[in-house]
Amino acid sequence: MKREFITKRLRPGKKPIEETIEKKITTIEGSKFSWIDLINPDRKDVEALAEKYHFNELNVEDCMAKFELPKLDIYDDHIFFILHFPPLESKKVLPKYSQLSIFIGNGFLVTIHHGELKPLIDLVNSCESGSDPNRKQHLMGGSTGVLLHEIIDVLVDDLMHTIRKIIANLDDIEDRVFDETRSAARAISILRREIYMIRRIVFPLKRIVVEINKNVEKFSKKEEEELTLYFDDVIDHIDKVLDSLEESRETMDIYKDTDFMLSTEKTNKVLAILTIIFTLAIPATVIGTFYGMNVDLPGGMGDGGMAFGTYTTFIVILLASAIPAGLMFIYFRKLGWIS
């Protein structure tokens, strides 16, 4: 195993930062083939493997590109393909996907990825340390096709764990949508973005795995291994992921519409209450405006015949304001505007 640490100066915006990236090359020898795993490799590392195993230089370019579209190239002695998987959860700003490039032939399997794919890293560490001899014998004692199936299978299983988290978040969002004290709009938007991101990853993933299934037999021991059946199981898992994503997308659309309707209804209620309060205050405002003028009015302080003494003006204004407001309240209630 070869491990290095590279410090790169990045500039995501206007503030320059430095990030230390681990460069790791692991070689695991099996009974009939070698598994070489490269994390954040330099071009010279990939070119050395390309010269040894006769890789196409265009495929080397694709490996070094951190954002390359999923693809599959089939040659006489090996297959090259690129797959995408959702990134790991982190507080840092993440790319939209993690990229995995794989070369597979009869005597080798090369995996190249920028950043960590945790299920793949765990698989590499398990085979390297020999902590599970039976599993290592199963993976490294057969053919490269068996190892390839295991790699794709663990990554798809991790994808299914991601789908389970999305479904759990859906249940939480449902509670927030019908809770008037909490806003659900931002949570809905974030989860919808995650669902659409994973859908963009899974559709090409299924297409490429189907093509791999058609061509992987030449890298297996046909008399001992039935890789087609195993890859069919992986494809079935991918179909379940797609079905769950489609159901989640439809559910999110329902929640989005429901949240919009409930928010609109809540806003209308607030506006209705404020409008009613303002309307009921109109009589008091009008009368208060007249009695605030510097003129003599009936019941005013300048009127000598005040029936209720000193408080005659206050009582007259109060009655003149309350009676119209009460009549309007009764009328609004009759119309059903006030429940």
Contact 38, 110 (CB under 8 A): yes
| Stretch among 4-18, 35-49, 212-226 having the lowest mean pLDDT | 4-18
Summarize pLDDT for 68-125 with one digit per residue, the tens. 889 999 998 899 999 998 875 543 334 467 899 999 998 899 999 986 688 898 899 8
Contact status, residue 248 vs residue 166, Cβ threshold 8 Å: yes
For β-strands 108-113 and 34-39, DSSP reports them as parallel
Mean pLDDT of the chain: 81
How confident is the model over 22-32, as pLDDT tens digits?
778 899 998 88
Contact 103, 110 (CB under 8 A): yes
> 109-118, 148-157, 285-294, 323-332 — which is least confidently predicted?
285-294
What's the confidence (pLDDT) of residue 269?
83
Those residues with Cβ within 8 angstroms of residue 244's Cβ, 6 or more apart along the chain or in another chain = 163, 166, 167
pLDDT per position as a tens digit, 229-273: 889 999 999 999 999 999 999 999 999 998 888 888 888 888 888
190 vs 19, higher pLDDT: 190
How many CB atoms within 10 Å of residue 73?
A: 15
What single-letter DSSP state applies at residue 96?
S
Q: What is the Rg, in whole angstroms, of the alpha carbon atoms belonging to the chain?
A: 35
**Token pair for residue 135?**
């599993």
